[in-house]
């Protein structure tokens, strides 16, 4: 295959055609829109499907186990980005990875659409974990490939792309959630599969013209012997895992519970290993080492932030289902619909925040301070949930306004932290590891959900006040500490703002 330069690739993409952005942004926007539609639509139903009684069409799992599975699943979906990034980088290139990822994801939803119980659930999870690892980080990274190095539309391009994510997430509960809760869970999951199919169709029909060469290259291909060696190792690894499975499952060593603990540990071990390897690498110079040190507190902050944020789909979803009045102004609500609130707030408030940062110009807070605000608001989003429990007790049904406020606060936090998060990762990670920055950023969410796998088991109406209070209070405490250490951390960043 011919080797194209970055220049050739950018020039091959029609540079206008989608809100003044490269035409390829249309393709990536709608591919990711439909992928997120299928993912968040499925997630809006999954918890209820797992813990509802069998007579109600559910799997009848124990509450704590169901919540833990939600978190472990969410963690693995983003952890697998490491594999997806590697496959694109060394074997398939981004375009082909996205395509195969989409096919796996669609297959995963189809499996869940069959009324085949727990077995189908685990097979579906396996397919969607691999598929999302192949699709999500790669679809995001092509966005950056379509702009010239100095093109000042790039950040706006990413913002438009982020809108695509949230628009898909916004409509999904109304379609997938409603079908699932009003008629039958499997019908809902089937709709998620159709969503991913639509995404694949858009991708296949428009990619040649719109993406042209972007994502067709394999940046760092495996050559000759390397290929054989890697495949051998992969084969051996897979074989080992299968043998381990055959030994540990029947003997009761590997259970849902012990698997959960294992993933929680991995959530800590993988990012730690990443940091150590980057720090000790010969390719990392002194300035980069200092930046890497500065990145550690930011990474930890985003882990705590995402831990709270992602509980919106677990603990707050449970709260919507069991503790919230589901009718307002005579309209019957479905508990899954509450999952639309965060993306709705993101869509409406993102432009407000963008304008605010522009208006503040040089007076805007540093990256570190933005992280601290993000965590602060996430903490508040939990603290506020103490109020209804104190006022009405933990048995009563409360007004939907409480959840709405909580989601609003979390999104305010998200808009402080998330848009700067990826770009801070790009700027602070050593150059030699720049291909992996997307994975590193995804790992902060994966680590968060790995922690959640243990945390969410502690939630119960009777522990509600302590649960929200302790986690929210801890987050606020850390955010204050981060705020105070900001000048020092900024110094370690060596010029990165
Ligand atoms: N809402 C974000 C998304 O779906 C959640 C996320 C954050 C995922 C960070 C990965 C990394 O893209």
The string of DSSP letters for 138-176 reads HHHHHHHHTS-TT-TTHHHHHHHHHHHHHHHHHHHIIII
Q: Which atom of ligand 1 is nearest to the CA of 81?
A: 10
Q: What mean pLDDT value characterizes the chain? A: 94
Say yes or no: CB of residue 425 within 6 Å of ligand 1: no
How far, in Å, from the CA of 13 to the mean position of ligand 1?
26
Say yes or no: CB of residue 78 within 6 Å of ligand 1: yes
Q: What angle do CA 45, 46, 48 make, to 5 degrees?
A: 70
Of the segments 208-217, 267-276, 435-444, 471-480, which one has the largest average pLDDT value?
Answer: 471-480
| pLDDT tens sequence across 23-47 | 999 999 999 999 999 999 999 999 9
Nearest protein Cα to ligand 1, atom 2: 165
pLDDT category of residue 207 using cuts at 50, 70 and 90:
very high
What is the best residue among 308, 415, 442, 450 to mutate for testing ligand 1's pocket, by most ligand atoms within 8 Å of CB? Answer: 442
Q: Which atom of ligand 1 is nearest to the CA of 442?
A: 11
Buried b (16+ CB within 10 A) or exposed e, 338-348: bbbbbbbbbbe
- Domains, in order of start, for the chain: 1-221 (1.20.1250.20), 282-497 (1.20.1250.20)
pLDDT of residue 200: 98
How far, in Å, from the CA of 100 to the mean position of ligand 1?
20
Residue 443: HSE in the Cβ half-sphere, 13 Å Cα cutoff: 24
Provide the phi-psi class of 361: left if phi over 0, else alpha when psi is between -120 and 50, else beta.
left
Say yes or no: CB of residue 165 within 6 Å of ligand 1: yes
Q: E strands of 233-335, at which residues?
A: 327-328, 331-332
User: DSSP letter at 62?
Assistant: -
| pLDDT tens sequence across 222-269 | 888 888 999 899 999 999 999 998 999 889 888 888 999 999 999 999
Assign 282 to helix, strand or coil.
coil
How far, in Å, from the CA of 310 to the mean position of ligand 1?
9
pLDDT category of residue 426 using cuts at 50, 70 and 90:
confident
pLDDT of residue 432: 85
Residues 456, 315 contacting (CB under 8 angstroms): yes
CA 177, CA 184: separation in Å to the nearest integer?
A: 10
* Share of residues in the chain with pLDDT > 70 (%): 100
Say yes or no: CB of residue 39 within 6 Å of ligand 1: no
Q: Collect all residues with Cβ–Cβ distance below 8 Å to 497 and sequence separation of at least 6.
A: 366, 367, 490
Nearest protein Cα to ligand 1, atom 5: 445
| pLDDT tens sequence across 87-120 | 999 999 999 999 999 999 999 999 999 999 999 9
Q: Which atom of ligand 1 is nearest to the CA of 166?
A: 1
How far, in Å, from the CA of 9 to the mean position of ligand 1?
27
Query: What Å distances lie between residue 21 and 31, 84, 148, 156, 159, CA to CA?
Result: 16, 26, 12, 9, 12
Say yes or no: CB of residue 445 within 6 Å of ligand 1: yes
CA 230, CA 245: separation in Å to the nearest integer?
A: 22
Residues 67, 47 contacting (CB under 8 angstroms): yes
Q: Which atom of ligand 1 is nearest to the CA of 441?
A: 11
327 has which bridge partners? Answer: 332
pLDDT of residue 106: 98
Q: Residue 2: pLDDT above 80?
A: no
What's the average model confidence in pLDDT over 339-362? 93
| pLDDT tens sequence across 121-166 | 999 999 999 999 999 999 998 998 899 888 888 888 888 999 999 9
Say yes or no: CB of residue 449 within 6 Å of ligand 1: no
pLDDT of residue 1: 59
The structure tokens listed for 366 are 């540093």
pTM: 0.95
Residue 429: HSE in the Cβ half-sphere, 13 Å Cα cutoff: 23
| pLDDT tens sequence across 156-194 | 888 899 999 999 999 999 999 999 999 999 999 999 999
Say yes or no: CB of residue 442 within 6 Å of ligand 1: yes
328 has which bridge partners? Answer: 331
How far, in Å, from the CA of 168 to the mean position of ligand 1?
12
User: DSSP letter at 332?
Assistant: E
Query: What Å distances lie between residue 142 and 26, 147, 449, CA to CA?
Result: 12, 10, 26
Residues 177, 334 contacting (CB under 8 angstroms): yes
How far, in Å, from the CA of 482 to the mean position of ligand 1?
23
CA 92, CA 115: separation in Å to the nearest integer?
A: 34
332 has which bridge partners? Answer: 327
What is the best residue among 71, 79, 165 to mutate for testing ligand 1's pocket, by most ligand atoms within 8 Å of CB? Answer: 165
The structure tokens listed for 345 are 């707030």
What's the average model confidence in pLDDT over 392-409? 95
Q: Which of 31, 169, 180, 44 is nearest to 113 (CA)?
A: 180
What's the average model confidence in pLDDT over 310-338? 95
For residue 312, how far is the Cα from the chain centroid? 13
For residue 46, how far is the Cα from the chain centroid? 16
How far, in Å, from the CA of 330 to the mean position of ligand 1?
34
State the first-to-last Cα distance of the chain, in angstroms, to the nearest integer.
40
pLDDT of residue 178: 97
């Amino acid at each position: 295959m011919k080797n194209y330069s970055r220049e050739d690739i950018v020039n091959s993409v029609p540079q206008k055609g989608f809100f003044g952005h490269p035409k390829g942004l249309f393709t990536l926007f709608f591919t990711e829109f439909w992928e997120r539609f299928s993912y968040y639509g499925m997630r809006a139903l999954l918890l209820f499907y797992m813990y509802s009684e069998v007579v109600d069409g559910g799997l009848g799992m124990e509450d704590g186990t169901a919540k833990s599975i939600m978190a472990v699943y969410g963690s693995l979906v983003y952890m697998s980005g490491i594999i997806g990034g590697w496959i694109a980088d060394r074997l398939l290139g981004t375009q082909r990875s996205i395509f195969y990822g989409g096919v796996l994801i669609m297959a995963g939803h189809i499996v869940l659409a069959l009324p085949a119980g727990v077995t189908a659930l685990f097979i579906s999870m396996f397919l969607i974990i691999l598929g999302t690892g192949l699709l999500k980080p790669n679809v995001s990274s092509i966005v950056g490939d379509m702009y010239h190095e100095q093109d000042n539309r790039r950040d706006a391009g990413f913002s438009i792309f982020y809108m695509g994510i949230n628009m898909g997430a916004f409509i999904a509960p109304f379609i997938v959630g409603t079908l699932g809760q009003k008629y039958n869970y499997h019908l809902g999951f089937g709709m998620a599969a159709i969503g991913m199919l639509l995404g694949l169709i858009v991708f296949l029909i428009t990619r040649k013209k719109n993406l042209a060469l972007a994502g067709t290259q394999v940046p760092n291909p495996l050559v000759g012997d390397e290929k054989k060696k890697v495949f051998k190792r992969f084969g051996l690894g897979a074989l080992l895992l299968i043998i381990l499975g055959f030994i540990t499952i029947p003997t009761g060593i590997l259970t849902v519970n012990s698997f959960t603990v294992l993933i929680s540990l991995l959530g800590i071990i993988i990012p730690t290993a990443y940091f150590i390897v980057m720090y000790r690498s010969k390719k990392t110079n002194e300035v980069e080492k200092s930046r890497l040190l500065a990145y550690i507190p930011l990474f930890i902050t985003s882990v705590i932030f995402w831990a709270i944020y992602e509980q919106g789909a677990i603990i707050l979803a449970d709260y919507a289902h069991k503790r919230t009045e589901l009718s307002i102004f005579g309209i019957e609500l479905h508990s899954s619909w509450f999952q639309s609130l965060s993306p709705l707030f993101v869509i409406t408030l993102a432009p407000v925040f963008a304008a605010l940062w522009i208006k503040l110009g040089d007076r805007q807070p540093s990256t570190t301070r933005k992280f601290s605000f993000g965590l602060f608001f996430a903490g508040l989003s939990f603290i506020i949930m103490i109020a209804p429990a104190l006022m009405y007790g933990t048995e009563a049904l409360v007004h939907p306004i409480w959840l709405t406020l909580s989601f609003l606060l979390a999104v305010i936090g998200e808009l402080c932290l998330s848009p700067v998060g990826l770009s801070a990762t790009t700027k602070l990670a050593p150059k030699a590891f720049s291909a992996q920055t997307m994975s590193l950023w995804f790992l902060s969410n994966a680590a968060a959900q790995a922690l959640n796998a243990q945390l969410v088991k502690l939630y119960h109406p009777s522990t509600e006040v302590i649960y929200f209070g302790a986690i929210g209070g801890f987050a606020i405490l850390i955010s204050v500490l981060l705020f105070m250490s900001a000048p020092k951390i900024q110094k370690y960043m060596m010029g990165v703002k």
